[in-house]
Amino acid sequence: MKTYGSGETAVRALDEVTVGIPAGKFTAIMGPSGSGKSTLMHCLAGLDRLTSGQVWVDGVELGSLADKQLTMLRRDRIGFVFQSFNLLSTLNALENITLPLDLAGNKPDRAWLDAVIEATGLADRLRHRPAELSGGQQQRVAVARALASRPRIVFADEPTGNLDSRAGAEVLGFLRRAVREFGRTIAMVTHDPVAASYADQVLFLADGRIVDRMIAPTPQTVLDRMKSLDGVEAGN
Give the binding site for ligand ADP (CB under 6 A): 4-5, 11, 13, 31, 33-39
Report in angstroms how near the CB of residue 78 gets to ligand ADP at its nearest: 18
Is the torsion defined by CA of 175, 178, 179, 185 positive or negative? Answer: negative
Q: What is the distance between the alpha carbons of residues 125 and 195, in angstroms, rounded to a whole number?
A: 25
Query: Between 38 and 134, whose beta carbon lies closer to ligand ADP?
Result: 38
Half-sphere exposure for 137 (CA within 13 Å, toward CB): 17
Q: Which is nearer to ligand ADP, 30 or 178 (CB)?
A: 30
CA gap 136, 142 in Å, rounded: 10
Taking the complex as a whole, how short is the minimal distance between the CB of residue 43 and ligand ADP, in angstroms? 9
Cβ proximity to ligand ADP, 130 vs 159, nearer residue? 159
The span from the CA of 203 to the CA of 213, in Å, is 5
Of residues 15, 28, 33, 19, the one with CA closest to residue 155: 28
Q: Is 94 or 202 the residue whose CB approaches ligand ADP more closely? A: 202
Shortest Å, Cβ 131 to ligand ADP: 30
Q: How far is the CB of 11 from ligand ADP (least distance, A)?
A: 5
